Structure 1
């Protein structure tokens, strides 16, 4: 019905059932204010219908809200991905979340370079892994877990730097042992060697990139300094202090790794736990 004003439609969205919300989201024209309320308050099926409606005036912010709310809903992700026009920021987020078929569409339709898509997908995998390890406290069988990561070729320098910066020294030790083919107790001694040679030796033996050594050196030194100050090294407070102090040293790390760590710095303390449960 063309007689409804924007305020009428917003009232219907806020007071109506999912069926009525879908009806509003599917109208031949959905004004920006109405689309914004639907993205923020609509039920999942209504947001999917809204995303599939190219005549819905969805701002970049509203698209981001829809992604925040329904990042685990494939139908919403696909509907957003198949919109005719998408901001680059939204496209990049969708590449991380989308299925392989939808990702191919994004690369083709929105001129996103394949290497960019692969980079974002790898970044998402690493982030999910480290968030899960961070909250589960590295599982009861860390050597097996690390071996599994290595077998899937995701035991990367990027993953290890992110884990170390968040206080996961155990994961770092076992990863170097795995990559270097060295027993863990020997890797532990070399990582925690007070001199300048032990860490460098095991780092090189593991085939890690020379350009990142100083960043890893800073991470290990930061962890040891905080441990000496006292406190539970397994606590969320310790991980937060570790991250803050590590970043304050301006480590020479890849831009995407620093972006990840800064994002983690901004999250509430319990946010990682929700992410870990979701990833699990």
Structure 2
């Protein structure tokens, strides 16, 4: 880019020529190849073109300068306060704008600009707070889904309250790397069963909160998710859940009823401290002693032993109609149950395991 070339291009008043000039000068400025003197000339030209009445000229500048390390803050602000098609590339990429600059633009109320800021590679906590405060679903969704956004606990609570009936945003919140326990507790109250199960899988919840979820039937969705885990990953999953005290007996029984045999085998092996192959042999032992031995070594309650044994027996020999037969066998072993289907039987087994569960309030949340 020579001085003559610049002067010739600037002398041509056509929109096409000025747009071409903007692209060439901005690209040269961003390249880092200019000397200090040449860079200053380029910046002077950009400052003039940034005020051009033709939109395509300003758009070309913004696109080429969005990641330019030499872009002055004043010029970046000029682009940021322009129309959205000019501002968005700069707002999404430039690092020269300060938090207060971004917050002021958020408060101006343009949704396209707000979404651009929400999608930046790094969004400081104060900027996140301003984005969440817009209450705009698209803005909030972009912010929560951006793992580079530093969401504070207060902002997360506001998201949960604002979107207590929005599973898409709740899922994005659950999928973040870390959740404060108070946010997890609030999600437990308002999220659907499948999202509660996802919450349990992704975050190290305190055992008391996990038991609270189990007592309210969340293990049904949890078991459904486990059923989709590839067999080769079941042992790692069982070990991870065991380390977090997340393998309660009724969940294992439900998984067994649902046909997740590989996961139950892996869980027994982990709980009993045995290799998976040896655990599998004991679980499927034709006699009465093998299963009983590994069951007790796994530390599972004697009161549920008949239900586990009956379910294993049915699952070994029956595929079609297995649930009806499991129900029949469970009712035979527990005459006090009065269940019309397997789901009811599993719910009532909680009271067999903890006889006074219905008389006690649920465990306090930590």
TM-score category of the 2 structures, normalised to the smaller one: 0.3 to 0.5
Structure ranking higher on relative contact order (CA contacts 8 Å, 6+ apart): 1
